[in-house]
């Protein structure tokens, strides 16, 4: 079996280098299902010359389109830890051989492999501290478009607001391999919600929908109103609004990576439901229509023509590291461009600063003709693919950067 699988993997590697993912998957599936010698026709297709061979993506970060490598932040210069002998741990991943890349690709859920040895690597749910009197409860939404489990944070003052207004609601969309508890712990959003009296919903993407628990932002059916995952998430929001006293003018969505891309989709398809969006290390609406275009958008940045085809009418705050090797920083720029496209006459100012943890940043604020802030863009210098200012016990966080959760909360409620 070992030699059979080895030969299948070599053939799949050749197919994948030509971006023929469908045939590569068939080769692996055939071998795993007990195929004696693989399919000679598929082997011939793998070895056959092509008139035009696409550029072979060699970076492991490209294969991690739905499950980014852990972030790495170099130690501050001048410290003992900044010695040249300390290496970025992602270097080993970038040196992975082609066969390893194919297996990694198949593992990550780009294609529907369900076989021994290809189990999803989703982090177990950690314990999340809950303030006294508050609740962090498990719930399930089921509607015409489908169902999703989710966790809901309910602040301790949910029933005793002195101003009589409904509660703000924030929907937090986790990244790949994450789960609601992990994302809540890493972002620290529950503590902020307790302070400001907000509900926070954390939808859970099951591995049955994506092998690496990623939101399917690259799928056309999951980019349209009243379809797929956007419809499920919108139905979940409406269900929460019906159960609790929610202010309909203060419903927000935020996400990281694939969750950030889905947040951009929700902002574009349900501007009547969401008042603002927070997108961290994500991609703009329309960035991809399939796996191939998802690869390209993540590696080089999405097409400006596609990203600007639909103006984002909701207020938007964007965080993106300029050293992000998983989602190209150009995607952050495109999200900002789409969000400001419908403003007409707008004013813009850029401020420079440095976080308490030593991360330099540029913060650009774009206001409409009335002077109301509509877009905010934090470009984080030297930061990779991680939630800025997040708690180190959560995955894909960088505790040294400016606090993205606090700034998003300020932007949402301001």
Catalytically active residues, by annotation: 257
Token code pair at residue 291: 């796996």
Contact 63, 108 (CB under 8 A): yes
Residue pair 99/24 in contact by the 8 Å Cβ criterion: no
Label residue 137 left, alpha or beta by phi (over 0 means left) and psi (-120 to 50 means alpha). Answer: beta
**Residue whose C-alpha is closest to residue 305's, from 290, 286, 281, 291:** 286
Please give the structure tokens belonging to residue 166: 């409904």
User: Residue 65 and residue 79: Cα distance in Å, rounded?
Assistant: 33
Give the bridge partners for 315, in sequence order. Answer: 276
Main-chain phi, psi angles of 249, to 5 degrees = -90, 0
Strand partners, 385: none
Contact predicate 295/57, CB 8 Å: yes
d(CA 136, CA 130): 7
- Range 20-23, long-range pairs (CB < 8 A, 24+ positions): 20/45, 20/46, 21/105, 21/110, 21/111, 21/291, 21/292, 22/111
Comparing CA positions, the residue from 287, 286, 253 lying closest to residue 271 is: 253
Distance CA 134, CA 124 (A): 23
Q: Which residues pair with 317 in a beta bridge?
A: 278, 376
> Collapsing DSSP states into helix, strand and coil, what is residue 6?
helix
C-alpha distances in angstroms, 161 versus 164, 242, 252?
6, 18, 19
- Please, are residues 187 and 405 in contact by the beta-carbon 8 Å criterion? yes
């Amino acid at each position: 079996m070992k030699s059979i699988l080895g030969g299948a993997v070599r053939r799949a590697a050749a197919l994948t280098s030509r971006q023929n993912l469908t045939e590569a998957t068939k080769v692996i599936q055939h071998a795993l299902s007990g195929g004696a010698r693989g399919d000679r026709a598929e082997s011939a297709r793998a070895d056959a010359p092509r008139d035009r061979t696409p550029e072979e993506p060699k970076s492991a970060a490209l294969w991690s389109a739905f499950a980014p490598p852990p972030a790495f932040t170099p130690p501050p210069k001048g410290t003992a830890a900044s010695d040249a002998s300390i290496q970025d741990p992602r270097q080993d991943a970038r040196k992975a051989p082609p066969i390893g890349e194919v297996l990694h690709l198949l593992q990550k859920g780009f294609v529907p492999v369900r076989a021994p040895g290809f189990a999803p690597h989703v982090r177990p749910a950690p314990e999340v501290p809950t303030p006294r009197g508050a609740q962090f409860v498990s719930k399930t939404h089921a509607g015409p478009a489908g169902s999703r489990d989710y966790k809901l944070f309910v602040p301790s003052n949910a029933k005793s607001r002195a101003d009589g207004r409904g509660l703000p609601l924030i929907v937090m969309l986790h990244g790949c391999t994450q789960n609601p508890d992990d994302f809540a712990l890493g972002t620290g959003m529950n503590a902020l919600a307790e302070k400001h009296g907000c509900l926070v919903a954390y939808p859970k993407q099951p591995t049955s929908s994506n092998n690496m628990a990623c939101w399917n932002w690259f799928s056309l059916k999951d980019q349209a109103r009243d379809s797929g995952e956007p419809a499920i998430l919108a139905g979940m929001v409406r269900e929460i609004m019906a159960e609790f006293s929610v202010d309909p003018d203060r419903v927000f969505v935020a996400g990281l990576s694939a969750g950030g891309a889905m947040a951009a989709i929700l902002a574009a398809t349900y501007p009547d439901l969401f008042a603002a969006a927070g997108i961290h290390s994500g991609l703009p609406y329309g960035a991809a229509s399939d796996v191939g275009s998802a690869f390209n958008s993540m590696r080089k940045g999405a097409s400006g023509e596609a990203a600007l085809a639909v103006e984002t009418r909701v207020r938007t705050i964007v965080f993106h590291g300029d050293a992000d090797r998983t989602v190209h920083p150009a995607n952050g720029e495109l999200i900002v461009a789409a969000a400001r496209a419908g403003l007409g006459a707008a004013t813009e100012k850029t401020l420079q600063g440095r976080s308490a943890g030593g991360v330099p940043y540029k913060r650009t604020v774009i206001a409409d003709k009335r002077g109301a802030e509509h877009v905010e863009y934090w470009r984080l210098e030297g930061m990779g693919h991680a939630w800025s200012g997040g708690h180190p016990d959560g995955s894909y966080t960088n505790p040294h950067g400016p606090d993205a959760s606090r700034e998003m909360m300020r932007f949402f409620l301001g």
